[in-house]
Structure 1
Amino acid sequence: MDRHGARLNRFALALLGVVLLVLGGLGLALGSGVFGSGRSRAPVLTQGTRTFASGHGWFWWAVAVAAVVAGLLGLWWLLVQGRRDRVPELSMEPEPERGTTRLTAKAVTDALSDEIAAYPGVRGVGARIGGSSRRPRLFLTVAYARDADLAALRRRVTGEAIVRLRSALERERLPAVVRLRLVGGEETRTVL
């Protein structure tokens, strides 16, 4: 999930949590008699609401439809949370009518990871391709040791490995996010 989506997700969940907390607190206060003992013994639906519901046959159908829609929206939201921004394969042909050549994203990321893992001071590499097959984005995490030359490592990753990958994929642009993580230390983030 991108930053904007994650921020929106946190905001919506926080807002929903506050609303439910306030409603629950009001219900608890009402039931315990904070607003008077008469209110705590009153039915949840007022006489006017019950009269309206019994006089209009569509009312309970509308309530049922609203509940089903709310449930489906909740299920959709839950499924979106588990979705990964991963591309299983890349389309290599710009013109599909001339043929189709596909390359698995795992093959691409494995080759890139193997190349970067051989650089001096590198202790581990994680790579994945997100976005879409037509507009892929590279997400790269490079773990390095304290004795590594960070400037040289960054220069090699951005100036050699990613440039070579762009050339191999025959793409002018391949947006990349590179995270350089000191093993046992702080993380540095570079957006290309």
Structure 2
Amino acid sequence: MLGSVNRVLLAIIGAVLLAAGISVITGSWPLGGRHAPLLTAQARHRYWHADGWWWWAVIAGLGLCVLLALWWLLAQLRRSRLDAVLVDTGDGAYALLRGRALESAVAAEAGALDGVARCRVALRGRRETPSLRVALELEPHAVPADALAGLAGPVLAHARASAGLPELPAEARLKVGSHRAARVT
């Protein structure tokens, strides 16, 4: 979703900047001529004194723009992958299991299943309650139900047991690879 927000935001900012640039290049401000200022002295005086709400609206709009820019910046800096998982050692202490290690172990075990051509795994959630997102690319002859049963059964059970987690929810996305035609010579 963040990628869609970025594209829409960049498109809107680009359209506004393009319109402003074309207006400046042509030398004709809206509702004015080439040498007319954007706000005349009379308009500035009217906005400042007659309509007291106008400047508050401008300040509120600029403040909203600053808040949206800060939200966007923080959304860019937030990590979508989990760095580590808390593992209960049984003696009251906790150990940290690297997220990449768990991802690569699950990917290697799921990639070894019959009919799986490629596997990508992403660890998400919180340290105490992680979850997996698994993307399996199946070979053309593979049976999706068998690959999903293999993933849900021994692969995830082994990952739960090795990480010491009571549960490890997973979302699996299956994609069938393309089948190339056999070459006849």
Q: TM-score range by the shorter chain?
A: 0.5 to 0.7
Q: Look up the SS of the partner of 2:175 in the other structure.
A: strand
What amino acid is aligned across from residue 33 of structure 2 in structure 1?
S
Instruction: Tell me the alpha carbon deviations over residues 167-192 of structure 1, each in whole angstroms, 9 at most, x when there is no partner.
Output: 3333333221211121237xxxxxxx
When the two chains are superposed, the root-mean-square deviation of aligned CA atoms in Å is 4.4
> Normalised by the size of structure 1, how large is the TM-score?
0.64
**Structure 1 residue 148: Cα displacement:** 1.4
Structure 1 residues 93 and 138 mapped into 2: Cα distance closer, same or farther (>3 Å)? Answer: same
Structure 1 residues 48 and 12 mapped into 2: Cα distance closer, same or farther (>3 Å)? Answer: farther
Question: Counterpart in 1 of 2:150?
Answer: 156
Q: Look up the SS of the partner of 1:98 in the other structure.
A: coil
Question: Counterpart in 2 of 1:133?
Answer: 127
Question: Counterpart in 1 of 2:69?
Answer: 74
**Structure 1 residue 13: Cα displacement:** 2.5
What amino acid is aligned across from residue 40 of structure 1 in structure 2?
G
**Structure 1 residue 74: Cα displacement:** 2.9
**Structure 1 residue 139: Cα displacement:** 1.1
- How many residue pairs match? The answer is 172
> Normalised by the size of structure 2, how large is the TM-score?
0.66
Percent identity among equivalent residues? 25
The one of 2, 9, 13 aligned to 2:9: 13
Structure 1 residues 130 and 33 mapped into 2: Cα distance closer, same or farther (>3 Å)? Answer: closer
**Structure 1 residue 89: Cα displacement:** 0.8
Structure 1 unaligned blocks of 5 or more: 56-62, 186-192
> Whole-Å Cα distance in 1 between the matches of residues 47 and 29 of structure 2?
27
Higher relative contact order (Cα pairs below 8 Å, separated by 6+ residues): 2
> Whole-Å Cα distance in 2 between the matches of residues 109 and 155 of structure 1?
19
Question: Counterpart in 1 of 2:104?
Answer: 110
Structure 1 residues 21 and 12 mapped into 2: Cα distance closer, same or farther (>3 Å)? Answer: same
> Whole-Å Cα distance in 2 between the matches of residues 171 and 81 of structure 1?
30
